Amino acid sequence: MIISLAQINPTVGAITANADKIAAVFRSVASSGCELVIFPELSLTGYPPKDILERPWVINNVLGAIARLEKESAGHPECGLLVGAPIPTGMSSGKGLYNSALLIYQGKTVFTQAKTLLPNYDVFDETRYFDQNRCYDNFNFRGTSLGITICEDAWFHSAGLFNKKIYDVDPVQLAAMKADLLINIASSPFTSGKEKVRFQLFSEHAARHRVPFIYVNQVGGNDELIFDGGSMFIDSAGKSRLQLPCFEESIQRLDTDNPGTVKEQEPQEQIKSVHDALVLGVKDYFSKTGFKKAVLGLSGGIDSALVCCLAVEALSAENVLGITMPSQYSSAGSIEDSRKLALNLGIEFKIIPIKAVFDKNLEILTPHFRNMQPDLTEENLQARIRGNFLMAFSNKFNSILLSTGNKSEMAVGYCTLYGDMNGGLAVIADVPKTMIYRIAEYLNRGREIIPKATIEKAPSAELRPNQTDQDTLPPYPVLDAILHHYIEENLSYQEIVGKGFAPDTVAWVIKAIEKNEYKRRQAPLCLKVTSKSFGAGRRFPIAAVNEYK
């Protein structure tokens, strides 16, 4: 069968625009002899649609879009169209919707398969909106028995992703019993290393059941989630025959009877994939919210330099403004490094000193702080002055302020609420500090973009004389390792200490994480690139006791 894999980038809620894109792709491939074109999960609504599914008119618009696609298919009766959409269950109980795959052919929907496994962990919340499929069947399409599953349905055998069995039924096994071809339509978000896990899982499915496997994944950024695409065709021996690119839309044609030579599965190198994901996340967040311009503070440090580089790649240099705001504690080198970065990138650059404003604030506050020594209050005051200035530029020039804090800082609260945490998007808040350096090296692989001095200097907030991050924090390699064990692996205090870390250091890190949940709850949206990011996928109470020992 001649099949087109349509790895598209839908916008959540833009049902008309998504249907336009789907129809245009369908017409194009149908006119070139394609027999079936496959689109991702919930491609009519975009994924995840969240609570917009609770609006009755949204479902009415979906049904209208399906009717339109049915009409389109009547004009190309030789080609079928497999598309994901939310469909009413018709039942009086339950949520009332299925997450469905619809096969549209010759002017009508000839087959519907609802999703069986509804993920309800990490960033997923599908049981909030959908009912679980309770029956399963294959469909004979043009002489080929199709076994159709939807995203999570293929993750029953989790290739080590889960520590325990979380489902009681394996939809792929049910589908494979009578199938000539297995198809999985998906909206599977990116996390570092997931590409390799996916291929291993789908390859095992194909080889176990001796049935070829097609996977079509959404691409693009929707809020904090980034979808990497990576759609593929795997033959009945579990070998890769077709791989679509990551992080870009792609429509590729496949002849299942003559799929070509075996291709070694080549996952992207980790740092390149994280870099590409962040660029796509920024690009789509701006385009899908209607913004074009970004503003950010440039401190001369590596975090703001990296965010600036990513913003330029995503938005182009003319749409990025960098502002450095030196105080009496800022080094001349930091100002010069910021200037050099801006010159290397070709962005607009401003210097706005804050010493006079800071001094005036101290003058006003000193009578109220009489006989009290300077402390974090005065340090944070500088960060909040900078945050106010940056938000003023955001408001005045209709720009999104990009927050530049990294995951290591966010985890332990080494950031100032209403100061450097200000912003509309936290670009690297899921990137550990040690990975920040690796991405910077990747960016500088061809020429020096981020100044060498920025990379080599000791990290510092420069809020007091001779300050460095390591005055307050454990060394970043130690901190990041403990954070990974505690946040992403859910290891206990005792287990982390058992790996050789100093008990006092582990205790300090855990206490800092728990104490600063209130800050993270007020942080900007964070682009997710690790298996457990701060935000929607990590829900911890603020007013709670953590008995970690």
Amino acid at 430: D
Three-state secondary structure string covering 380-401: HHHHHHHHHHHHHHHHHCCEEE
- List the catalytic residue out of 21, 95, 115, 293: 115
Q: What is the DSSP string of 73-91?
A: HHT-TT-EEEEEEEEE---
Contacts of 218 (CB under 8 A, 6+ apart): 7, 8, 9, 10, 40, 41, 43, 46, 47, 186, 187, 188, 227, 229
229: alpha, beta or left? (left if phi > 0; alpha if psi -120 to 50): left
Closest to 273 measured CA to CA, from 238, 229, 234: 229
Closest to 440 measured CA to CA, from 278, 257, 254: 278
The residue ranges of DSSP E strands in 124-230, in sequence order, are 139-141, 144-150, 181-186, 213-217, 219-222, 225-228
Contact in structure between 288 and 39 (CB atoms under 8 Å): no
Alpha-carbon dihedral of residues 253, 234, 136, 100, nearest 10 degrees? Answer: -50
**41 catalytically annotated:** yes
Contact in structure between 4 and 254 (CB atoms under 8 Å): yes
- List the catalytic residue out of 34, 151, 415, 526: 151
- List the catalytic residue out of 35, 41, 126, 195: 41
Length of the chain: 549
Active-site annotation, residues = 41, 115, 151
